[in-house]
Structure formats: C-alpha cells, structure tokens
Structure 1
C-alpha cells in the first residue's frame, strides 16, 4: 500500500510547488502592475501648452501596421491644438472615386497639413496645396529602409520629419529645405501596463519579422533559449536553423494587433528588441546603404508597457533612455545570454529598470509630446 501511495504523495508535492510558484509570480506581477499604475497617475504624458492652430492630418492610406500609428497621431493632436480634421486617405483602387484632398484643404483652410509616410499619396495634389499657400509636412516612418522611394517624395513637402537621424543630412543634400529628426513614440492608449492571463507569460519574447540579422541572433543563442519559456511572433521565423526546436513557440506569419502586442510585452519578463539591419536583402529600398542609428518605435512601445527591454545597440538610443538604468543593451550573443540570465534571476533589478523606462516614456515619448516638437518646429513657441 505504501508503494501505491508514493506516486500520489509525489504528485501532491509537485502540485503544491506549482501553486506556490504561481502565487509568487502572480504576487510579484500584481505588485509591479500597481507601481506602474501609480506612475501612470502621476504623469499625464501631455505637453504644457496648446497651439492655437488648425491641423489637417492626412492618414497614410495603408493598413497594418500604419493604421495604429495613424490613429495614435490623430488622438495625439486633439489635446494640443485648437482644431483637428482627419482626412482618411485611401490608396486609389478600381471602384473608388479619386479623393479630392485639394478641395478639402481649400474648404477647411488648415494652418498645416501633416501626412504620414507619403508613399501612397497623390503628390500632384500636395503640389497644388503648396501652390495655394498652405504649409505641408510629411512624417517618414520607414527610414532608412525606403530612402530610394522617399527621396522622390520628400521634395514635395515644406517640412520633412524623419525617424532616422542619419537621414536628416541625406534629405538636405537632395534639396529639402526643412528637415528635422522626429522619431515615432508610444501610443499609451494601446501600449500600457496591463494584467495578462497566465498562459501569456514567458521568460523571453520577440514580436516582429524574422529579418536575417534577427534570425542569426536567435540561432546563435538557441541552445540557451531552448530551456526557457519563449515566444516569437511574425513572418520569416521558419528561416531559423533551429526552427524545429522552437516551432511550438513560434506563431509564424501572424500579425498582432497593438493590444495583443502590448499583452505579449506585459506577459514577458524580458522583451528582446533586435533592430532591423539597414542592409537586409529581404525587403529593402536603401540603395545607398544609409546606416541606421536611431531606435525603432518598438523601443518606446515596450517601455510604455512597463516591460523590461533588452536591445541591441543603436548609437542614438542614449538620447532617449539611459543604458543600464532605463534600458539594457547587449553587444554579442554571449552578452545577450549573460544579461538574460542575470535579469531573469534578479527580478527586483529587472522591474526597477522597467519602471524607470515607463516613467521616462510617459514624460518624454508619447505622441502628444512628439507632435508638440513638430508644431514647435513649424510654428515656434
């Protein structure tokens, strides 16, 4: 009879250990979430002033992942200007009449027309708007990866805003008179600390496409990650040499909506941020091979979730976050492994860094704050 009781007693110990571990993890997550909420209540994320101007915002005309950015910009303008009108641009297709942006501008007479991306725009209409005396601006979102295309677009606008520091001089050299550095930001309506179900909790995650440099980075540390709870979401991750090892942890060719991406960040102890290489052959229009030094939008979105971020080095990241205090960077596969292991086993330090990054993001890197920089550039203080 004792022989029959042993498996039952052993199973009970496993259940008890599991409950205790789950309780401890839930308690720590709840405490962290409470601290994040306190930070959110302390900081509004809004600039100190409003501009007495009317803005017409022209959307990109594209769907995901541009639509969430379009929505974030439209929302971000509302509290900082007198009036906003949103022109929902559509990429011309059979069955849809040509949109009359010029007529809308002449009717509404905005002080500034802001376009996102510009690749799908009817540039002849932009030229007519400028000829009528209205100021125009374009915010380029894919530099330097599309500079072969955007170099033909930028010249049609009065103001060019680029999220890549190295592209400022490039646009000036081709003849753009007003070029300014303006990275994207965090949409705090979507990317914010939130409670997640236990099934979404992971040790390490990465959300994004499997560009070759990212694939090589994960392959290099795959023996270590194989023993962790991991999650990869996006296209091309079947390029991994170690794909079979991680197949059950990969959601291949899936695009997550912003709220689902935020849930993935909130559920991860460590969120990897591996920037796209400027010379990746997968999908690139950067014939001049302009190198990238600026942080991607993911940098701000992860931080806005109160999540801990481990990123490769981008030279200009120090403009936005303090390495080692608000964000952690790695230099090599060995360094990545060492830092993942350290911060998985030093929870208090990990959460303190995440809290500091959240605070910095709400103070400086929201869309209202970014758009305030744009308005200050155009209209002054």
Structure 2
C-alpha cells in the first residue's frame, strides 16, 4: 500500500535534519581539529639567527623525488645564511666555487657530481660537505665518493662506522626532516577522503608484506599510489583503488595525508638486490625515512613499521604508532578507526614534536653548529 504523501514528506524532513545535524557536527569537529593543528604550527615555527655565511649549494641534479628536497633545502638555506650560490652537478662546479669563494660547498646526494670536481674545490682551500640521501641503499657507490669530501652527513646511523673506516674524519648523523611549506595541516577540507593510505614504491618487501592482507586492507576506503604496485598477486581486483606508476608531488601528497585517517609507512628493505646498490656490505637500515617526518608534519596519524632508531625521534603510542607484523597492522587499523579522538591526539602530538625538532631548519642549524661552531 502506498504511504500517504504527508508521511513521506515527514520522513524526508526527519532524514534531512539528521543529515544536517551530522554534517554540522562533523564540520565543527574537523574545523576544531584543524584550528588546533595550525595553532601548534604557529607557536612552534623554528627560527635561528641569520649566520654570516656564504653557502654554495650543489643540487642533486635529479628529478622527483629529489627535486622537492632540493627546493626545501634551498629555501631554508636562504632564510638562514647571508648568501646562497646555486650550482648543478653538470656544471663546472669547481670553477664556480673558485669564482664566488664560498665558506662551504654543500652537495646533496652527489651521485651526479664528479669527484674530480670535489678534489679541485678542496685544492683551492674551500671546505666541502655532502648530505647523503639514500643510505644505506647505495653504499657500493657512496663508499667510493665519501673520502673525497671534508665532511659527511648521512641520514642512516648504521653508515657512520663505514665512513670512519674509509678514513673520513668528520662524519655526522643527520636525518632528513619535514619542510612545513610542503607538508602542513590544511585550513580547509582536503580534496581526498580516505580511511587508509599508503604512498610509495612497491619494493618487493612491501609486496610480500601486503599480499596476505590485501583483502582486509582494501575492505576499508583505502588508497595506494606509487611505482610497481601491479606486482601484487591480485592486482586487477584492487586496481580501481591503486594509482600505479604515478608520482605525487608534495602538494598532492599533502592533500592525501590531510584527508586520510590512517597513513601507513612501511620502510624499504636493505636486502632488495633488484634496486639496491648495497650488495657488498649489506648494511641494515635503522633510521626512519623522510616520509616519517613528512606525515607527522601534515598532522596526519602515522602507523609505521618499527625501526631501531625511531624512538630517538618519536614516542610510540604517544606521537606516532607502530606495528611489527601484517596482522598487527590490520588490528591497529581497526582499533584506531574506531577510536577517533585517541587517533587525533596522537597525530597532534606528532605534529608538535616535528615542528619543535624535526624540520629542515633544525637540521641545517645542526649542520652549521658542527661546521661553524
């Protein structure tokens, strides 16, 4: 029997009002959270006195994902020292250094920079430093490069002994950090709405880890993007949720982090001989990857696999959350999707720790405190 029209109208009105109240509540909660996050950023932005230094910066010479790091370091440098001269590894870097006479030539990655250029710079009495971006995954190459520099900065704590044994006298542990102009809490709703997300290349250890839990993982509103994810066993089944071979720049990645309830971080393996250049020494990795700091800088809740040196940077269960097995990952996803307030508070504490200690400003201040005490 057809319902009277007034009953249908009443039901529609009740449904509309409930939806409106729910939307208003969710909007208020999101706005309140974003307000707290941006207040944390405002009161913890790092500033240091301008140093009377002239730094010649030699970029990686590579494209994404290195180019955003180059941009972050260049912009940060310009706010910290009196003068910055830029160079590309394909240029005659030694001639440029001889002409501008900087206090320091700092190279990022340096795999594209010929070591004979570095030798020429040092012969002119100009100090050199390299910030190695991919330790320990390319130690077969970096072991040959490192002795040509005055100062070595590595983002992997397990590589310090290697460079000391090679005769490098000035070796320092300096992980990457977050660049708050790239990764930050948005003031408006993100264009992305997900429960779970993973951004990164599908190295084989990630494939082996994800394969058994893909049905559970994809039962949520989950997104994945990066290279090689068509390696998954049942990739066609999940292809509509996976962006294969698509690099997200910082702007898109920040949208994803801001619009995702749980961002997964899963580090690559030092034993993947198909992509690594760590075949001789097989140095294990203990330090967190750059993504660890970037996720927190976006005020996103991070669920990361355990690295031995992670506790130096974040407190597990307070500023970040961890897992050791694929089953534990699923269990914690289920828990934190149903404990929203707890998840949000951890994300905010992770943001605050990052802004206080783990930006590129902090890292370069640490570098200059070592080189120019």
TM-score interval, smaller chain: over 0.9
Deviation (angstroms), 1:17: 6.3
> Normalising by the residue count of structure 2, what TM-score does the alignment of the two structures yield?
0.94
Q: Does structure 1 residue 145 correspond to structure 2 residue 137?
A: yes
Out of 227, 250, 256, the residue aligned to residue 264 of structure 1 is 256
Change (3 A) 1:204 1:378: same
Q: Does structure 1 residue 349 correspond to structure 2 residue 350?
A: no
SS at match of 1:77: helix
Structure 1 partner of 2:354: 361
Change (3 A) 1:22 1:152: farther
Structure 1 partner of 2:103: 111
> Normalising by the residue count of structure 1, what TM-score does the alignment of the two structures yield?
0.92
Distance 1:231 1:22 in 2: 24
Change (3 A) 1:4 1:331: farther
Change (3 A) 1:255 1:4: farther
RMSD: 2.1
Corresponding pairs, count: 371
Q: Does structure 1 residue 332 correspond to structure 2 residue 333?
A: no
Deviation (angstroms), 1:373: 0.8
| Matched-pair contact (CA < 8 Å) for 2:182–2:254 | yes
Quick check: 264-273 or 2-11, which moved more?
2-11
Structure 1 partner of 2:369: 376
Quick check: 101-110 or 368-377, which moved more?
101-110
| Matched-pair contact (CA < 8 Å) for 2:191–2:255 | no
Structure 1 partner of 2:300: 307
Q: Does structure 1 residue 228 correspond to structure 2 residue 220?
A: yes
Change (3 A) 1:242 1:105: same
| Matched-pair contact (CA < 8 Å) for 1:217–1:333 | yes
Deviation (angstroms), 1:264: 0.6
Out of 270, 277, 290, the residue aligned to residue 283 of structure 2 is 290
Q: Does structure 1 residue 39 correspond to structure 2 residue 40?
A: yes
Deviation (angstroms), 1:244: 2.8
SS at match of 1:325: coil
| Matched-pair contact (CA < 8 Å) for 1:196–1:266 | no
Distance 1:291 1:17 in 2: 54
Distance 1:112 1:305 in 2: 32
Structure 2 partner of 1:29: 30
SS at match of 2:152: strand
Runs of 4+ deviating beyond 6 Å? 3-17
| Matched-pair contact (CA < 8 Å) for 1:195–1:266 | no
Distance 2:233 2:53 in 1: 54
Distance 1:177 1:204 in 2: 45
Structure 2 partner of 1:167: 159
Structure 2 partner of 1:321: 314
Quick check: 10-19 or 226-235, which moved more?
10-19
Distance 1:206 1:104 in 2: 42
Change (3 A) 1:345 1:302: same
Distance 1:258 1:113 in 2: 27
Distance 2:173 2:321 in 1: 24
Distance 2:231 2:371 in 1: 45
Distance 1:242 1:317 in 2: 33
SS at match of 1:315: coil
Distance 2:267 2:11 in 1: 46
Post-superposition CA distance 1:332-376 (Å, at most 9, x none): 122111111111111111111111111111111111110011111
| Matched-pair contact (CA < 8 Å) for 1:232–1:251 | yes
Distance 2:69 2:342 in 1: 32
SS at match of 1:200: coil
Deviation (angstroms), 1:89: 3.5
Structure 1 partner of 2:80: 80
| Matched-pair contact (CA < 8 Å) for 2:158–2:286 | yes
| Matched-pair contact (CA < 8 Å) for 1:166–1:290 | yes
Distance 1:219 1:16 in 2: 43
